[in-house]
Every structure is written in C-alpha cells, then in structure tokens.
Amino acid sequence: MTVVASLLTLSACGNGPASEPPPPPPTSSVPNTEEITVSGAVMSGVEPGCLLLDTGTTQYLLVGTETQGLRPGQQLTVTGTPERGTPTTCMQGIPLRVKQAQPPTTGTT
C-alpha cells in the first residue's frame, strides 16, 4: 500500500499546469518614415527593370517615380525612405522610395 501511495504522489507531481509558449514579439503597423541619404553605384538587379544602389555594405532597391532616367553604372547620392518588409517583384535589396537622386558631391571647393 505504501508503494501505491508513493507512485500516486509521484505521478501527480509531474502534472502541473502546462506552460504556454511566450507571445510573439509585437509588430508595428506604422510604416518606417525615417528618411536616409546614401551614396553608391547603381546596378541592374537580377530581375528585368530592377535597379539597385550598392553602397558597398548594403544594397537598396530603388523604387518610385524619381528613379526614371537612372542607369546602371551611375554614381549617385540618393535620399529616400526605406520600406523594409515591403514585398517586391525584384526580391533583392531593401526597397528605398527615392525622393531625390543626384551625383555625389566631390567635397572640393
């Protein structure tokens, strides 16, 4: 009888409340509106019609009406808003909604 009581006690110890998985991290539905300025070389993406700005450390997918007339090989300074998480057909680089694109300043006076 002591053995049966001990087994019942032990089996009850492992049946505590099930722990729930932690909640997922919060996501923001507010789009990133922080404007950035980056410089680099324009290059063709792997998909037709896609243009990237390669800064040497990051590739930005150039999107928006201000990209008209841009060509691979140009050196540019681009101001725009990153749209991280935005799906694109180019599937390459961080989408950057271009506000302004111009040749980089040389720093000489």
Per-residue pLDDT, 104 = 82
Beta-bridge partner residues of 51: 44
Q: What is the pLDDT of residues 5-29, one digit of tens each?
A: 554 555 555 555 556 766 665 554 4
- Contact present, 77 and 101 (Cβ < 8 Å): yes
Q: Which CATH architecture has domain 36-102?
A: Beta Barrel (2.40)
- Contact present, 92 and 50 (Cβ < 8 Å): yes
**Model's pTM, two decimal places?**
0.67
Tokens of 3: 């053995």
Q: What is the pLDDT of residues 22-71, one digit of tens each?
A: 666 555 445 556 999 999 999 999 999 999 999 999 999 999 999 999 99
Per-residue pLDDT, 31 = 56
Relative to beta strand 59-63, strand 94-102 is: parallel
Domain boundary assignment for the chain? 36-102
